[in-house]
Chain A
C-alpha cells in the first residue's frame, strides 16, 4: 500500500466529515466513492487536488496522452491497475481463531464472466500455505494397488492432461446466515466461491497406472501442509471426473491454491479438492478423519448428522446490485448474477423483484458449462421503487434452489454447511442495497 499524500489525507478528512452528515446507509457508499476518487488522486503523477483532475477531461488533453508510458517488461509479471487496489480478498476476523486456519473471500461484486483471477480465488487453509519446492515434492500412491508409485512433478506432467472450467466452493459459504442475515456485503455472504480453468491428469489414469486391487472402494487424499489435510473420496468419483491438477487459468497453481499439485473433485465441497497433494491411498472403507467427522458434517435439529455430504447443490445470487454495488440512478438497469450446481449444468435462473411473489426467467449470458459458474442477467426499468430482489436457479437434474424457510424446516439452523437457499437483497428508494431475510 502506498502511503497517502498530505493532500489526500486532508481530502479523506473532508470526505469523512461530509459522510457524517448522511444517513448511515448512504454514508458507506459515499465513502466508497470518495475513496476511489482519493485512491486515483493519490497515485496520479503530480496532481494533488481534485480540481486539477479536470485538466484530464475534455476538451483538455489528459496528462497520460502527453507523455510516454512504461515500456515492455517494466512489470515482467503484470499486475492490475493501481486504481483497482480495493479489489482484493477479505476475511471476517471473528470467524476463526487465527489467520493460519482460516478463510478469505473473493470480491464477487467486482468480478465479470465465469473465471476468477487466480490472485482473487478465495483462500481456505487448515494449517497455512506451505512453501513447497516442486523439485522436492513427491506424489505417492499406496494402499490397495498392485504397484505403489512415487511421482516427481516432471513425471506427473508427462501424462495426458485435460483442462476444464469449474467452480470451487467452500461448503461453509453462506454458513454465517443460518440463523439470520448478518453480513452487509456480497463478498462475505457468498465469496467462498470462485471459478477457474483447471488443468491436470485424470486421477483414473494414475490409479490405473498403479493397478487398483479388487475390493477397493475409497481413496484417501492427503496434503503436504501442516494440517496434513485429508479427505476420503469414493472410488466412483475418483474414477469419474476427478483430476490431479497442476495448473489454474493457464499457469502453475498459486501457492494458495495448492502449488505444485492438488486434487480437484468437480462440483464437490471445496475441501475434498485437497491442496498440496502428497499422497493418495486406496482402501476399502472411509478413513473418517477430522475434516469428515468433526467438521464438514451437517448437524440437524434433532441431533443427528449427515456425513459424506460431498455435492454442492444448485445455488445463485444477484451480484449487481448488491450492498457494495448500489444502483447508480433511475432508468434501465442491468440486474446480473451467477448461478452454479455441483450436479451439472444450470438449466434456468428466475428472478423476483417482489420477494418471491412473482418470478421472471432471466437471460443466461455466455458459456453454460457443467459444474461451472454461469452468469445471468435481466434488464429492468427502475424508477426508485423499493425492491426485494431474489434469484432462483434450476439445474439440469430439475432440482430447484430452495427457500431458506424450506432449508430450516428440513435441517434446523445448526448445519453450518451447504446453505444454498434463495438470497434476498432489499433495494431502497435511493438505490442502496441491504442484506435481508424474509420471515
Chain B
C-alpha cells in the first residue's frame, strides 16, 4: 500500500511537473514582451465598447417603434435636422435625395447615400444629440433609427426595429460603393510645348466668398468681459443662436432681440432654463445640455443680451 501510494505520488509529481513545464512554455510564448498596462475587465470593456458593425455586431438588446421615434425625434433632433429630415440652416439633411447622386447637385442623405443602417444606429448613440452625446438609451436609439428610416421610406410607419430584425434592413445605395482603386488619373511630366498657349482660358474666382476681413480691418475688437458666459454660449448655445437655426433669435441681431430683452432678463433666463415654445421655434430646456447649471445658463443669456443690444 505504502509503495503503491509512493509510486502514485511519484507519477503525480512527474505529471504535475510536466504540466507545469508545458504551461510555463506556453505562457512564455504567449506572454506580452513588456507587460505594461493591465488586463481590461469585461465590465470596463462593456462600458466603452459602443461600436456597431454592418453585420449587427455590437447591437444591445432592445427595440423601438417608428411611433416612439417620432416624439423623440421632434424633441431631440428636429431643431437642427428639420421636422421631416430636411435640415435647418447648414445642419445635415437626413431624408430625401433618392436618385440625385448623379445629378449636378446631389443630395446625400441617410436614405439616398448611406450604405448601412448600422451606421445610423452607431452614430446616433455615439454622437447625438449634438449637445448631449451618449445620452440616449438603447431603446431610444432603436426608436430614433426606426423613425429616420421611416422618413426615408425604408420602413413602414408601423415598423418596430429590434436587435433581432436589424439585419433585415438593406439600404438602397449599398451596391454603389466600391473600394479605393486610385490612382485613377495618369498625368505625364511633359516639359515643353505641352499645350497650345492660345487654348488657355483663365477662369477667375467667384467674388465675395473669401473671408478677407482680416486683411481689411484687423482684429481690434476688445475681448468680452463675460468670458464664462461666452464659453457656455460657444459650447451649448452657438449651435442654434449663431445662425438663427430653428427660429432661435440670432445673437447680435438687435431687431429680433429687442422685444425679447424688453420682457426682462429674468424671464429670458427662466425660459432658457425650463424651455419655451414660441411662435417661431422651440427652445429646449438648457438648450438640450442638461449638464449645465442654472447659473451657467444665466451667464450665457447675459452674454447673448450683451451681444444683441
Interfacial residues, chain A to chain B (CB-CB below 8 A): 1, 3-4, 12, 28, 31-32, 35, 38-39, 85-86, 90-94, 96-101, 126-128, 140-142, 146-152, 155-156, 158-159, 180-185, 188, 205, 208-211, 220, 222, 226-228, 230, 278-279, 281, 283, 285, 287-290, 293-294, 297, 299, 301-311, 313, 324, 348, 350, 354-360, 388, 392, 394, 399-403, 406-407, 409-411, 414, 418, 426, 434-439
Cα-based distance from A362 to B188 in the complex (angstroms): 17
15 A-B pairs with C-beta separation under 8 A: A92-B210, A97-B80, A128-B235, A156-B36, A184-B210, A188-B210, A205-B34, A211-B32, A290-B127, A294-B114, A307-B180, A358-B193, A399-B183, A434-B204, A436-B202
Chain B residues contacting A208 (CB-CB under 8 Å) are 32-33
How many interface contacts (CB-CB < 8 Å) are there between A and B? 288
Taking CB atoms and an 8 Å cut-off, the chain B residues in 51-68 that contact chain A are 51-55, 57
Chain A residues contacting B239 (CB-CB under 8 Å) are 97-98, 100
Chain B residues contacting A99 (CB-CB under 8 Å) are 234, 238, 242
Cα-based distance from A294 to B128 in the complex (angstroms): 15
Given A222-B51, A306-B180, 13 additional A-B pairs, CB 8 A = A38-B218, A100-B234, A127-B127, A228-B134, A278-B48, A283-B53, A285-B55, A305-B178, A356-B195, A402-B187, A410-B185, A436-B202, A437-B203
Cα-based distance from A288 to B127 in the complex (angstroms): 15
Taking CB atoms and an 8 Å cut-off, the chain B residues in 34-60 that contact chain A are 34, 36-40, 44-45, 48-55, 57
Chain A residues contacting B180 (CB-CB under 8 Å) are 306-311
Q: Are A299 and B220 in contact (CB under 8 A)?
A: no
Bitwise, B211-235 to A at CB < 8 A (1) or not (0) is: 1101111111111000000000011
Q: How close is B293's CB to chain A, nearest CB, in angstroms?
A: 17
- Given A97-B91, A290-B123, the answer on whether A180 and B203 have CB atoms closer than 8 Å is yes
Chain A residues contacting B106 (CB-CB under 8 Å) are 299, 303, 414
- Given A98-B238, A148-B39, the answer on whether A281 and B49 have CB atoms closer than 8 Å is yes
Chain B residues contacting A159 (CB-CB under 8 Å) are 34, 36
- Given A299-B108, A306-B182, A308-B179, the answer on whether A401 and B187 have CB atoms closer than 8 Å is yes
CB of B251 closer than 8 Å to a CB of A: no
Chain B residues contacting A150 (CB-CB under 8 Å) are 37-40, 44
Chain A residues contacting B279 (CB-CB under 8 Å) are none
Closest to B91 in A: A97
- Given A279-B48, A306-B182, the answer on whether A439 and B33 have CB atoms closer than 8 Å is no
Q: Are A306 and B178 in contact (CB under 8 A)?
A: yes
Q: Are A293 and B39 in contact (CB under 8 A)?
A: no
Give the number of residues in B that approach A within 8 Å (Cβ atoms).
Answer: 92
Q: Are A209 and B33 in contact (CB under 8 A)?
A: yes
Chain A residues contacting B197 (CB-CB under 8 Å) are 354-355, 357
Chain B residues contacting A181 (CB-CB under 8 Å) are 203-206
Q: How close is B207's CB to chain A, nearest CB, in angstroms?
A: 9
Closest to B124 in A: A290
Q: Are B209 and A182 in contact (CB under 8 A)?
A: yes
Contact of B185 among A127, A180, A304, A407 (CB under 8 A): A407
Q: How close is B60's CB to chain A, nearest CB, in angstroms?
A: 16
Q: How close is B120's CB to chain A, nearest CB, in angstroms?
A: 8
Chain B residues contacting A350 (CB-CB under 8 Å) are 189, 191
CB of B115 closer than 8 Å to a CB of A: yes
Q: Are A90 and B214 in contact (CB under 8 A)?
A: yes
CB of B116 closer than 8 Å to a CB of A: yes
Q: Are A288 and B115 in contact (CB under 8 A)?
A: yes
Cα-based distance from A301 to B115 in the complex (angstroms): 18
- Given A184-B210, A211-B30, A438-B203, the answer on whether A287 and B51 have CB atoms closer than 8 Å is yes
Contact of B181 among A85, A302, A306, A437 (CB under 8 A): A306
Q: Are A293 and B220 in contact (CB under 8 A)?
A: no
Chain A residues contacting B178 (CB-CB under 8 Å) are 304-307
Cα-based distance from A410 to B181 in the complex (angstroms): 12
Closest to B211 in A: A92
